[in-house]
Amino acid sequence: MLKDRLRPVLIDQARTGSLVTYRELADRLGLTPPQTIHRVTQALEALMAEDVGEGRPLLAALCVSRLQQRLPARGFFAAAAALGVFTGDAEGPEARAFHERELQRVLARYPRS
């Protein structure tokens, strides 16, 4: 499954201490059209469900939209809300604060190597 290939890629990304775009993830996973970004987002949402279920930080927080000023796309916040870990406006200050918190949790769990 794509999500199983995605987890180690995101853990490696976390250890660099930097963010990655959806397109960069699709390229790194060797995905080809059609629907490459959609497949990445589906896999990210599946990882989010696993991470919430296991009490882990959301690895998906590392993946950001190149259009959203270092924030994930709206689907990240919708999925987090559906999982019960985020409330608020996906474009409001609570979204930025939630993303920053999750990002810090991820970076603390997977320190630079």
In which residue are the tokens 């559906």 written? 82
Token pair listed for 21: 């775009």
**Percentage, residues of the chain above pLDDT 70:** 99
Q: What pLDDT shows up at residue 52?
A: 98
Q: What pLDDT shows up at residue 109?
A: 97
Given a cut of 90, is residue 6 above it in pLDDT? yes
Q: Are 73 and 85 in contact (CB under 8 A)?
A: no
Burial of 62 (0-12, 13-18, 19+ CB in 10 A): buried
Given a cut of 90, is residue 25 above it in pLDDT? yes
Whole-prediction pTM: 0.94
Q: How far is Cα 36 from Cα 92, in angstroms, rounded to an integer?
A: 28
Could you report the per-residue pLDDT of 27-81, keeping only the tens digit for each? Answer: 999 999 999 999 999 999 999 999 999 999 999 999 999 876 789 999 999 999 9
**Where are the alpha helices (H) located in the chain, listed in sequence order?**
2-16, 22-28, 36-54, 74-82, 93-109
